[in-house]
Structure 1
Amino acid sequence: MFDPMQGARAVRIERSAAAAWPAGRTEAAAGWLLRHTPGVARRRSNSALPPAPDRHPERSLDVVEAFYRAAGLPVTVQVGPAEQHRELDAALAARGYRREAPTLVLTAATADVIAATDPVLSLTVEGVPSAAWLAAHQSLNGPGDTSALARQVLARVPAPAAFVRAEVEERDAAIGMVVADGEWAGVFCMATSPEHRRRGLALAVLGAAARWAAGRDCAELYLQVEKANIAARELYSRVGFAHSHHYHYRVLGGAVS
């Protein structure tokens, strides 16, 4: 049972995550947050967040569809928290929207993550996405839309934020980003090079993120992980992350990455 207190926390996290990952263009309409980021081909950057269920978002889908069609994009809705939007999800399915990328949102007490990880002095923690961090992000994620992402999203991440980077033998090995928002801090952009996996680097990055968050009085951490990513889910559970809620996307039209 998804109780009201848990539901309020989930909504708070979703809005915090939207602010931490800025879109190039946003528009508020009928309670929806409509997001579009030119040049960035990612669902998170080009999708609509619904208003509360009691505002019946399923009745204002024409506004959402008009926005994305005008932008020449597939109409994409982030159905989250999914536990609160069953009616919306059913309405989208009835209109032919396909379901994509089921994602879990996990939370942990900052203190628990710190207790479960060791401080690593060799990590680099910076307040802005430096050229070195952006290069590491590109090398660990592939070319794709990383240049546009750096320009349109990462350069505009709201402060306070920290960009964590680990090197092994002067080569980029792992990165992460953490953004503080009141009592919460969101962890994003976790990536580890294939040759350095299972060596504790991701845990070290998480630990550095948690210690930074504690210094900003953030008592809780959240992160998002696709449901199919079992290895990442197991790693996060080792340091205290547990299920909060989930979301998925509904897409009408061409594919979005």
Structure 2
Amino acid sequence: MEFTIGGRLEVRMTPADVGKRVSVRRVADVPDEGAKFTDTVGVLTSWDDEVLSVTTKSGESVRIPESALVAGKVVPRAPARRRGPAASFGELTRTAARAWQPVESELLGDWRLRAAGGFTRRANSVLPLGDPGLPLGDALARVRSWYGERDLPPYIQTATGAEDTQERLCADLEEHGWRREVTAEVRIAALAPVGDLDVDISAVRLTREPDDAWLSRYQRFETPGPHVLKVLGSGPSVWFATVPGDGPAGAPPAAIGRCVVDGRWAGFMAVEVGQEYRRRGLATAVMTALARTALDEGASAAWLQVEADNEGARALYDGMGFTLHHSYHHFRPA
């Protein structure tokens, strides 16, 4: 990282650069093995009262006193991704939302409040794709009230690595006492290579609705009530994959998966393999079978969401050619 002009470190940004991507160097809070400086890259979300706030790609808001600032400059965004299909944040986020629809929703300006009886954070969180039409403090109070009326905790889903406005919202939520609970990656890939994988899919059974066997393997609920079935069944063209197990009658299947085809996009969700059936390539078989069906329906691009700490799933998707598009986070009042 270089900040020199004529051999000197310089700060080449001002409060007028709020909202831009910056790279800053500051004196380390706790020097580590002789290191004197710490570098931070992210969106400059505020510069008030002699303190800078920079939101990093992970969604963390880093506060830096001016007195600790050694160097800083505005930097361009990372170059456009060359692998996988081109996709804007808005297109991909709306596609993902159509594939996992809530039981009820309400607009607050450009924010969509979503609820589904508490079944998954995605279906029970605010999707903020613009201005709520109110000052942020008032909007957050409305969010708390709306979810409180439904006996649900209030969550807001934000993103980093996609749009500066989303990254600024992450920092603003922290300023208002909201804290991130979970982070997931949104990944994309060309669909054809997934469907072309040389794997045996003869055991994969595809249906339009989840049967009792499929539901018995899915681990995201205790009782599959109507709200669960409504969310799982939502989307333009929904497919469920099941690989029967070799256990006794009534035992959960070996593997399952879900795919929603929406125009050029195929979204993969709920890919799960029983512990005793792992390392047999069943997750790959499930996704390949679903991908071939999606290709038959005219899709050409794939997306999925995976929690950032799920190393096994991330390695699987790496091997299939999925690359990071952006990350999303669920914030909740502390």
Give the TM-score, by structure 1 length. 0.86
Per-residue CA deviations over 1:106-165 (Å, capped at 9, x if unaligned) read: 11111111223424112100122233322332xxx27535445533422x3234111001
The change in CA–CA distance for 1:113 and 1:7 in structure 2 (over 3 A counts) is closer
Deviations 1:202-224 (A, max 9, x none): 00001011101101111001000
Q: Which residue of structure 1 aligns with residue 157 of structure 2? A: 78
SS in 1 for 2:203: coil
Alignment of 1:177-256 (within 5 A): 177-252=258-333
Q: Say if 1:2 and 1:79 are closer, same or farther in 2 by CA, change over 3 A.
A: farther
- Match of 1:128, SS state, is coil
CA contact (8 A) 1:105 1:243 kept: yes
Alpha-carbon distance in 1 for matches of 2:299, 2:243: 23
Q: Distance in 1 between matches of 2:183 and 2:223?
A: 22
User: Cα deviations across residues 1-45 of structure 1 (Å, max 9, x unaligned)?
Assistant: 26799996222121111111111111112111110112x342112
Q: Is the 8 A contact 2:162 2:325 kept in 1?
A: no
**Matching residue of 1:37:** 116
Question: What CA distance in whole angstroms lies between the structure 2 residues aligned with 1:219 and 1:55?
Answer: 37
- Is 1:161 the counterpart of 2:161? The answer is no
Distance 1:207 1:136, change over 3 A: same
Structure 2 CA distance, aligned partners of 1:247 and 1:12?
15
**Any stretches of 5+ residues in structure 2 without a counterpart?**
1-76
Tell whether the 8 Å contact from 1:58 to 1:88 is kept in structure 2 after alignment: no
1:52 corresponding residue in structure 2: 130
Secondary structure class of the residue paired with 1:221: strand
SS at match of 1:231: helix
Structure 1 Cα separation of the partners of residues 79 and 112 of structure 2: 24
SS of alignment partner, residue 83 of structure 1: coil
Q: Secondary structure at the match of 2:244?
A: strand
Work out which of the residue numbers 17, 25, 28 in structure 1 matches 2:107: 28
Q: Does residue 135 in structure 1 map to residue 212 in structure 2?
A: no
Number of matched pairs: 248
TM-score for the superposition, normalised by structure 2:
0.67
> Is 2:59 the counterpart of 1:16?
no
Q: Distance in 2 between matches of 1:110 and 1:8?
A: 14
Max Rg structure:
2
SS at match of 1:153: helix
Q: Which amino acid aligns with 2:179?
A: R
Corresponding residue SS for 2:254? strand
1:83-122 equivalences under 5 Å are 83-84=162-163, 85-122=166-203
Counterpart-to-counterpart distance in 1, 2:319 and 2:158: 28
More strand, by proportion: 2
Structure 1 residue corresponding to 2:148, chosen from 64, 69, 74: 69
Q: Is the 2:185–2:308 Cα contact (8 Å) retained in structure 1?
A: yes
Aligned-partner Cα distance in 2 for 1:33–1:190? 27
Decide whether aligned partners of structure 1 residues 19 and 250 sit closer, same or farther in structure 2, where only a CA change above 3 A counts.
Answer: same
Higher RCO (CA 8 Å, separation ≥ 6 residues) = 1
Contact 1:49/1:80 (8 A) holds in 2 = no
In the alignment, structure 1 segments of 5+ residues that lack a partner are: none
In the alignment, the residues of structure 1 paired with residue 198 and residue 273 of structure 2 have an alpha-carbon distance, to the nearest angstrom, of 17
Is the Cα contact below 8 Å between 2:189 and 2:301 reproduced in 1? yes
Distance 1:113 1:11 in 2: 24
1:168 match: secondary structure: coil
The DSSP-based 3-state class of the residue aligned with 1:206 is helix
| 8 Å Cα contact 1:82/1:248 also seen in 2 | no
- The match for 1:151 among 229, 233, 250 is 229
